[in-house]
Structure 1
Amino acid sequence: MMRTIAAAVLLTLGAIAGQLQVQPARPQSGKPIEFNYVADAEYFSEPDSVWLCIYAFDDSRFYPTAWDIRLERKGTSYRGTFSAVPSDAVFLLFRIVSGREYDDNRGRYWDALVWNGSTPKIGAYFRQAISYLGQGASGLPSVARRADLDRAKELLQRSIETHPDHLPTKFAYAGVRFDRGEISRSDLDETLQRLLQLPWDSTNEMQVRSRSRALRLLGRDSDAAELERHYAERFPTSDLAEEVERAYCAAARTPEEFRDRIRRFAERFTSSPNAAKMYTDLVAYYLQQGNGDAAIATVNSYPVPPGVTSSPPPALLNMLAVTMVRQDSLLKLAQQYIEWAVRALETENLDAKPRYVAPCEYRWQLRELRGICYDTWGYVLYRMGRTDDAIEAFRQCEHLLGPFASGDMLEHLSEALMAAGRREESLAVARRAIATGRAIGPTVMRFLQSSADTAAIRAEYESLRMQARPAKLRRLRQEMLAQPLLEMQFRRNDGSTFLLGDAVLTTLDGRQISLRQLKGKVVVLDFWATWCGPCRVSMPSMQKLYEKYRSTSDVEILLVNCWERVDDRTEHVRKFLASNPSYTFPVVLDLRDEVVSGFGVTGIPTKFYLDRDGVVQFKEVGFPGADVFIEEASDRIDLLLGR
């Protein structure tokens, strides 16, 4: 039976860290920039379609304006020219993109200040500094540079030296010094109060944001909200106005009130992806409540600009079709919605692209969503008994996504072909999935059961798996995060600070260990809680993984208990393990929940894989299923071991 169909976009692969050269080193407004990017072409699944994304920040708006240039292969390098630096840009961030794969220099990105002659433009050092404050500083996952408070402070100091009257710099500098533990809370409050008395430009969004943040830090939330509301009224299409409207939507007290507010949001901000996301959240809520009629009514009420032949967002239509397809009585309606989505995606409409998304990124998002919708369409047709039509839809999905088609998508095609009596075609798809490292359990089983000669088919399977090894290693290298989290400093509620590597984990017999003590080993941390259902489901697989590496002295697997809602966590965990005597893996307690917070965990189970230097290289959220977990976890551990 077909397992899953995608209701949203697929996951994005990680960074690979090639080398990017930028000429001139001091870009000027209105002048061209030349780029030379060097990386092993084998890192990309589509090496002839490589783009450079340019995120141009100005000194007024919060979000950047995104541009792109297609890079041409020249021997072992990729080259391209950006025709002219935008006149209002003060700072540029760069990353390389190829389909779903990208290179963001291991989270560091590449960058350039924009210069006026021999001096950086006003706000250049400030925007560069802000980029080192993490995703919250940019608001966008696509430009979430790895946080570095030391670098941010250094750049803010340069900004003050070159442009001493730049007000947002002064606010940010005070905040960074406080975060670094250099000034007390009372010193911070005094500094912010003084800065709020200085003259400021009420038409500059960055200055408004700086004042608003200062007011909130001082506990004056209502004054901050009034400041933001007033700016949003004056500049109703600004980035801040959109955020104010989103906050208004989030404050709705009932689903019906939320529906009315997000409709207004979608009418005002027609190119914002947040409109579709909020509609999707509401539809998901109605579906979870079993209120299909309300979900359908919500989708049908999505506002379409006057004079535009359009539809609700295809992702929303796809989500509804995915939910309906499992009920025979709703198959016709599911078919209607998914065909509506497919038709809507036939035309590439870049007018709906958000300003901060590069054209190549947006085109890929549309291509990926189109592939997902074809997969859903095929599944609907298959459920309706139209197998030949389903096969064509599944083939179109693979054609669109190419090497990025998931194992589930290939399984759908293989199963439909087998059901249609096209055995050899089905097995050809299975071979392709296995040889590229994308095969899931049912695909493998179908292949292994396809011949009575079990020895021969097993030998062919192992040969195909060996072919998949380079592709798997490439994907693993792309996923590597290279995040030195253990060296990051955090602040406790009492104001004291600590390095994550020095945070304490406690064994069940009371011994205390720190992650820094485990340097020299490959470490797997699995954050879990006794009340977490998916955590418990994953534990038999964690036990098998532990048994596999138990005798390997330079591998440490730790299950880190966190977020328990009991008074005596140690005794509670002891009782849990006593009732599950087959679990012999090491368990430690994050008694103050400092480690789980430092790693930025928002849901469990979440696993982190650290290399011998204590650097986080892989992160896995949730549990992919026993049939794939052991193999994927082993591949990651072996890569970090250098095997």
Structure 2
Amino acid sequence: MKDMKTTLIFALALSATVSYGQQKPADRYQQYLPIITEGSAAQKDSLATALVGEAKSYKTEAEYRSTLNILRNLEQDAKVQDLEKIAVKKFPKGAITRDAFIQNTFYKAETTAAKEKAYNELLKKWPVKNFPDEGLTYDYAIATLAQSFAKDGNAAKATQYLETMQERFWRGNGYLPVATTLLAQGDTTNATPLLKVAMDDAYYFISLPEEQKDNKARFAAMGYASSMSAYVDILVNRGQYAQAVEQIEKALVVAPQQADALSTVYYKSLIGLDRKLEAYNILTRLYAKGQFGVEDQLKKLYADLNGSMTGYERFNANLKEELKQSIRTHIKEMETFKPAPAFELLNLKGEKVSLASLKGKVVVLDFWATWCQPCIRSFPGMQAAQASYAADPDVEFLFINTWERDKDYKTKVPAFIEKNNYPFEVLYDDQKDPQSGQNMAAQYGVKGIPAKFIIDKEGNIRYFLTGSSPNVDYIKMEMHELIESAKKPHKG
């Protein structure tokens, strides 16, 4: 019976395979999306086998690229490698061969000199003009090379390479990290013009009429607050408060949703201009959202504006109570109630940790990866939350390392944790369920990281949240409300 079922699955997958010439790559991917996201291990294997069989008739590199993309999403690494070898041999000057070179030679080069040599070889063998619609592939490499020069303290070479980037909507992603690296080295002279380019590019896209804002424009606009904050911070440190306020207020006209991200540099600029009441209002709003690090400045402005500290404690208590009520309202949107999928994963020491062994405890799961910046930005807050429950034997924090891109992740992950001195229990999400072929993240329905789950003492998921805040105090308070709520019996 089992063999007949497997044969049927294979037949269905094979019959679903339509000639590439009849479909665009995106259409093919959408056709197989249900199997990619929800299919069993048998269905995925069957589809992969069918696609590889179809590949024998391919005439163009585009056909190979489309199928390789699907195979990667099916996590069929062995079949990807086998098909890639055929394509590389068939199209030595094509994009597949180029991408393999970038991945295996350029990105793995350990020194800046080696990276530059590999990049020059890339341009020689696969000139940009031969791939007019794939400038972003080269921009990724340029950004990596420029960052390597920046880390070496060579701002001139870093800038030289950045200026060759082609895609304006993505350019800020190369300029901003380089500028940040130079700022960390104290080089504001070279960092400032790079920040301005990133800021001006983002402003251009964010101020486009709504009907002209495509996905590229929206992506570019996302970097506005970061580049603006860093640029304006330089102006503030130079005492150029009027110029700083001018830039911020210009930003708030076209991007009012960036108000929170720009609040810190805004209130500093206003204080510099002696606009204390406006600065006080911004600080009050920040404090009410859990940014307690501004309290010293808030106290000073409170005393300046009121003539004394009379009434401050009540004022402070009211702000914290408002925040607590806001968090409680917010977490209601994250409520759910369903059994948590069982798991048994290895920690950094090679020891098995299972959900079953933690029954009777509230378990906090945090799905993360070393490349995920929002994940990393939330770690100080998660560390503070974990520390606040250090004496509570009924609460367990587990940090599930998933979706790592490098094969040597078992070297990089422990090094990252040790370097940052995080006292986390980290588990590797690299064990696939034999029935579904899915890893733990897929079983839990994770679509993006960071993703956090709060599991109650009976093994039920009570809360699920994605995204995060870099605000330590807010995360600590939010986790407290989530955990304490999960300790209580579910009301149904």
What TM-score results when the alignment is normalised by the length of structure 2? 0.63
Deviation (angstroms), 1:386: 0.9
Q: Are positions 1:174 and 2:46 aligned together?
A: yes
C-alpha distance in structure 2 between counterparts of 1:416 and 1:513, whole Å: 50
Q: Are positions 1:257 and 2:111 aligned together?
A: no
- What is the 5 A alignment of 1:240-279? 241=95, 244-250=97-103, 251-252=105-106, 253=109, 254-260=114-120, 268-269=131-132, 273-279=136-142
C-alpha distance in structure 2 between counterparts of 1:324 and 1:589, whole Å: 32
Q: Could you say which residue in structure 2 is the equivalent of 1:617?
A: 464
Amino acid in the other structure paired with 2:215: E
Q: Are positions 1:322 and 2:180 aligned together?
A: yes
C-alpha distance in structure 1 between counterparts of 2:207 and 2:472, whole Å: 41
Amino acid in the other structure paired with 2:311: A
- What is the 5 A alignment of 1:378-393? 378-393=232-247
C-alpha distance in structure 1 between counterparts of 2:298 and 2:21, whole Å: 56
Q: Could you say which residue in structure 2 is the equivalent of 1:514?
A: 354
Structure 1 or 2: larger strand share?
Answer: 1
Q: Does the 8 Å contact 1:317/1:337 carry over to 2? A: yes
C-alpha distance in structure 1 between counterparts of 2:58 and 2:252, whole Å: 53
C-alpha distance in structure 2 between counterparts of 1:287 and 1:415, whole Å: 29
**Which of 20, 38, 41 matches 1:148?**
38
Amino acid in the other structure paired with 2:224: R
Q: Could you say which residue in structure 2 is the equivalent of 1:227?
A: 87
Distance 1:428 1:591, change over 3 A: closer
Q: Could you say which residue in structure 1 is the equivalent of 2:153?
A: 290
SS of equivalent to 1:313: helix
Q: Could you say which residue in structure 2 is the equivalent of 1:445?
A: 296
SS of equivalent to 2:222: helix
Q: Could you say which residue in structure 2 is the equivalent of 1:50?
A: none
Q: Are positions 1:202 and 2:59 aligned together?
A: yes
C-alpha distance in structure 1 between counterparts of 2:97 and 2:329, whole Å: 42
Deviation (angstroms), 1:321: 3.4
C-alpha distance in structure 2 between counterparts of 1:616 and 1:316, whole Å: 36
C-alpha distance in structure 2 between counterparts of 1:262 and 1:201, whole Å: 26
Once the two structures are superposed, what CA deviation does each residue of 1:171-226 show, in whole Å capped at 9, x if it has no partner? x55157xxxxxxxxxxx7xx888x36x86343484566548959x86679466334
Q: Does the 8 Å contact 1:262/1:275 carry over to 2? A: no
Once the two structures are superposed, what CA deviation does each residue of 1:502-559 show, in whole Å capped at 9, x if it has no partner? 42679x9x9x86314656864114699xxxx998997565232334xx28xxx53245
Q: Does the 8 Å contact 1:391/1:417 carry over to 2? A: yes
| RMSD of equivalent CA atoms | 5.3
Q: Are positions 1:281 and 2:144 aligned together?
A: yes
Amino acid in the other structure paired with 1:637: I
Distance 1:278 1:444, change over 3 A: farther
Q: Are positions 1:630 and 2:476 aligned together?
A: yes
Distance 1:626 1:229, change over 3 A: same
Q: Could you say which residue in structure 2 is the equivalent of 1:496?
A: none
C-alpha distance in structure 2 between counterparts of 1:225 and 1:481, whole Å: 48
Q: Could you say which residue in structure 2 is the equivalent of 1:503?
A: 344
Q: Are positions 1:461 and 2:355 aligned together?
A: no
Once the two structures are superposed, what CA deviation does each residue of 1:556-603 show, in whole Å capped at 9, x if it has no partner? 3245799988xxx9xxxxxx9xxx9xx9x9x979699759x74489xx
Distance 1:148 1:427, change over 3 A: same
Deviation (angstroms), 1:422: 1.8
Q: Are positions 1:423 and 2:257 aligned together?
A: no
Q: Could you say which residue in structure 1 is the equivalent of 2:248?
A: 394
Deviation (angstroms), 1:461: 3.1
Q: Does the 8 Å contact 2:236/2:265 carry over to 1? A: no
Once the two structures are superposed, what CA deviation does each residue of 1:443-479 show, in whole Å capped at 9, x if it has no partner? 233223433455622322333344445764676567x
Deviation (angstroms), 1:427: 0.6
Percent identical pairs in the alignment equals 12
Which ranges of structure 1 fall in alignment gaps of 5 or more residues? 1-56, 65-89, 91-122, 134-146, 157-171, 177-187, 305-309, 352-357, 488-500, 570-575
Once the two structures are superposed, what CA deviation does each residue of 1:308-329 show, in whole Å capped at 9, x if it has no partner? xx7992333333333444666x
Amino acid in the other structure paired with 1:443: V
Once the two structures are superposed, what CA deviation does each residue of 1:224-279 show, in whole Å capped at 9, x if it has no partner? 3342564696xx7xxxx3x6533322223421134336766765355654444333
Q: Does the 8 Å contact 1:249/1:262 carry over to 2? A: yes
Deviation (angstroms), 1:617: 1.7
Amino acid in the other structure paired with 2:315: E
**Which of 378, 403, 428 matches 2:257?**
403
Deviation (angstroms), 1:363: 3.1
Q: Are positions 1:557 and 2:396 aligned together?
A: yes
Distance 1:230 1:464, change over 3 A: farther
Q: Could you say which residue in structure 1 is the equivalent of 2:390?
A: 546
Deviation (angstroms), 1:641: 5.6
Distance 1:503 1:414, change over 3 A: same
SS of equivalent to 1:247: helix
Amino acid in the other structure paired with 1:130: L
SS of equivalent to 1:290: coil
Which ranges of structure 2 fall in alignment gaps of 5 or more residues? 1-19, 369-375, 402-408, 433-438
Deviation (angstroms), 1:379: 1.7
C-alpha distance in structure 1 between counterparts of 2:293 and 2:426, whole Å: 37
